[in-house]
Amino acid sequence: MVDLCIYNISALYTMDPSLSSPDNPLGKISNAAIAFDKHKVVFVGSSTDAPTARSRLDAQQSILMPGLVDCHTHTLYGGSRSTEFAARLAGASYAEILENGGGIHSTVNATRNSSETTLMNAFKERLTQMIHKGVTTVEVKGGYGLSTESEARVHRLIKTHGLPISTVGTFLAHTIPVEWQSDRAGFVENIIHEQLPACMEWIVAADVYCDRGAFTLDESIQILEAAKNMGLKIRAHAEQVSHTGIAAAAARLGATTVDHLERCTEEDISVLSECGTVATILPGAQLYLKDTPPPTALLREAGVPMAVATDLNPGSSPIHDLWTCATLSCLVQGLTIPEAILGITRHAGRALGFPHLGWLGSGSSSDCILLRPPPGEPPILESVIQHIGAKKIVMVAKNARIMSLSHHLRSGFQEG
């Protein structure tokens, strides 16, 4: 007897590569069941073959899929940038705002000056919204502290929220703060020898923003090499505003992902393919900055896996819904629906360097969600992606434990 069985599932999308084929890229099983024992997936198959279990949940013909993975966010921050949004609508570019002391710099000031209570309350509210949308793992970057004391505080808060969602802490070398503008080399040394060591208790990865107005290619490589030598996974904000060469350089250093890629070249893509690096695309930033899309057709042709993330931040991508970004990745970046779904599940887990995330099967994570399609639509993910905001998350399970359950499913839950 197993611990938990969820049965009477209309469509179970496993994302399991062993069950995928050209005709079934998401490993879909109809009229399915899934079972867990000791927090592991022990059965995926037909509902008629479901094992006996101590606890049973009738899915009532809902869709079941892995918990979502948002693999690029800046979810912990202070302040608001709504006035800058208005300025961009009036014609100012993001790079111009940044270079004039706005953008990241204004959020740095607000984050440094906010109390821990204020930061944590807003952070937990944003995480709770994510959980309600089916996100079970979220990467959260620092980079709004830009000092040893502030970055350590931010990363401690990222890991101590106490909510049923996994937060993957990533140190971000975001930009040069005002007080270090005359000593860039000194700030890079400060990051390597003071900030990174002070944050090691709470982080698993390091990221760098290599672009105009931020770090140069040489500075970025220096930071990533140091982080890698400390045992951290590495990644990069790459080729967004201008082409710098960081995408290929980070991939050669072993980056799990390079992100944005609006100015990525065919040569860059060839290196990503050779190195097995994920390309994380961020449709929210492209939309809000009115930018051009990354070369997704070339990434697809080269066999580069593509992840999709919200890039949630208070300025260039204030989007709190990963589902919306999946839809936008199809509409404005050219992804297919299966690519978008894999982008917020299995490929997002791979982007984080955690290949057990974002799929369901032997050896996978045991995070999963149940959802209802939009009213009047069939229980398939094509309908969910087409209709923005119309699906309903009716169950979230974290580590095979049901954390939230809608009222209409409770009558079908027999808890052992």
Predicted confidence band at 87 (pLDDT cuts at 50, 70, 90)? confident
For the chain, percent of residues with pLDDT exceeding 90:
92
Report pLDDT digits (tens) over 230-244.
999 999 999 999 999
Report pLDDT digits (tens) over 169-178.
999 999 999 8
Residue tagged 């695309």 (tokens) = 281
Q: Are 342 and 26 in contact (CB under 8 A)?
A: yes
22-26, 83-87, 276-280, 330-334: the lowest-pLDDT one: 83-87
pLDDT at res. 88: 79
SS3 44: strand
pLDDT at res. 213: 85
Number of Cβ within a 10 Å radius of residue 224:
25
pLDDT at res. 86: 87
Report pLDDT digits (tens) over 118-151.
999 999 999 999 999 999 999 999 999 999 999 9
Predicted confidence band at 94 (pLDDT cuts at 50, 70, 90)? low
- What is the Cα–Cα distance from 185 to 218, expressed in whole angstroms? 11
Report pLDDT digits (tens) over 348-369.
999 999 999 999 999 999 999 9
- What is the Cα–Cα distance from 147 to 157, expressed in whole angstroms? 15
Q: What is the mean pLDDT of residues 335-360?
A: 98
Nearest to 44 by CA among 94, 70, 9, 73: 9
pLDDT at res. 103: 82
Q: Are 73 and 311 in contact (CB under 8 A)?
A: yes
Give helix then strand counts, H and E, for the chain: 17, 17
Query: What strands, in cross-sheet order, belong to the sheet with 306-308?
Result: 68-70, 135-141, 166-173, 205-208, 233-238, 257-260, 278-281, 306-308
Distance set, CA 307 to CA 8, 279, 325 (Å): 30, 6, 11
pTM of the predicted model over 0.85? yes
* Dihedral of alpha carbons 331, 333, 336, 340, sign: negative
Q: Are 201 and 174 in contact (CB under 8 A)?
A: no
For residue 239 the two structure tokens come to 């080729």
Predicted confidence band at 97 (pLDDT cuts at 50, 70, 90)? confident
pLDDT for 101 beyond 80? no
Nearest to 85 by CA among 101, 70, 102: 102
Report pLDDT digits (tens) over 55-86.
999 999 999 999 999 999 999 999 999 988 88
In whole numbers, what is the pLDDT of the chain averaged over residues?
A: 96
pLDDT for 296 beyond 90? yes
User: Which strand (E) or helix (H) includes residue 186?
Assistant: helix 184-190
DSSP 230-274: TT-EEEEEESSSS--SHHHHHHHHT-SEEEE-TT--HHHHHHHHH
Q: What is the mean pLDDT of residues 272-291?
A: 96
Nearest to 236 by CA among 103, 307, 249: 249
Q: Are 158 and 202 in contact (CB under 8 A)?
A: yes
pLDDT for 51 beyond 70? yes
Residue 162 exposed, middle or buried by CB count within 10 Å (0-12, 13-18, 19+): exposed
pLDDT at res. 102: 76
pLDDT at res. 35: 98
pLDDT at res. 104: 83
DSSP 274-332: HHT-EEEE-HHHHHHTT-PPP-HHHHHHTT--EEE-----SSS-----HHHHHHHHHHH
pLDDT at res. 416: 76
- What is the Cα–Cα distance from 77 to 54, expressed in whole angstroms? 42
Residue tagged 């004039």 (tokens) = 100
Predicted confidence band at 93 (pLDDT cuts at 50, 70, 90)? confident
Residue 23 exposed, middle or buried by CB count within 10 Å (0-12, 13-18, 19+): exposed
Q: What is the mean pLDDT of residues 95-115?
A: 85
Number of Cβ within a 10 Å radius of residue 304:
26
Report pLDDT digits (tens) over 364-401.
999 999 999 999 999 999 999 999 999 999 999 999 99
pLDDT at res. 92: 85
